[in-house]
Amino acid sequence: MKIKNLITRELEKTEKYIGILKEEIESLPKGSIVTTKAKDNIYCYLKRREGKKVISVYVGKDTDIETIKLGAEIKKRKKLEEDLLALEEERDLMVKMLKVK
């Protein structure tokens, strides 16, 4: 009985953390940064999918602070999405463990 209680508590913590991660992921920009070179400058565009269309928005030069920040936020989003996937797998495993009699 103690193991079942332990798994139940861990499941509750995991579900709460999944909710927090989902909120944080939604606050970060979607897409990826694509660079193009023209003459001696490198220009960055944010590409993302909206429905069936791929939208491309000019961000700035590759050395602009805003472009660097956006790149870091996109990288953070991708890392959080990987963490979320791992947590959801753990949650599913805990649910299966609780259903076993």
Report the alpha-carbon distance of residue 96 to residue 94 in Å, rounded. Answer: 5
How many domains is the chain partitioned into structurally?
1
Calpha distance 19→14 (Å, rounded)? 9
Question: Cα(11)–Cα(17) distance, rounded to whole angstroms?
Answer: 10
Q: Are 28 and 73 in contact (CB under 8 A)?
A: yes
pLDDT category at 77 given cuts 50, 70, 90 is very high
Contacts of 18 (CB under 8 A, 6+ apart): 84, 87, 88, 91
| Predicted pLDDT of residue 30 | 93
Provide the residue range defining the domain that includes 66: 2-99
pTM of the predicted model as reported, rounded to 2 decimal places: 0.82
Mean pLDDT of 18-30: 96
Bigger pLDDT: 24 or 62?
24
Which pLDDT score, from 0 to 100, does residue 62 have? 84
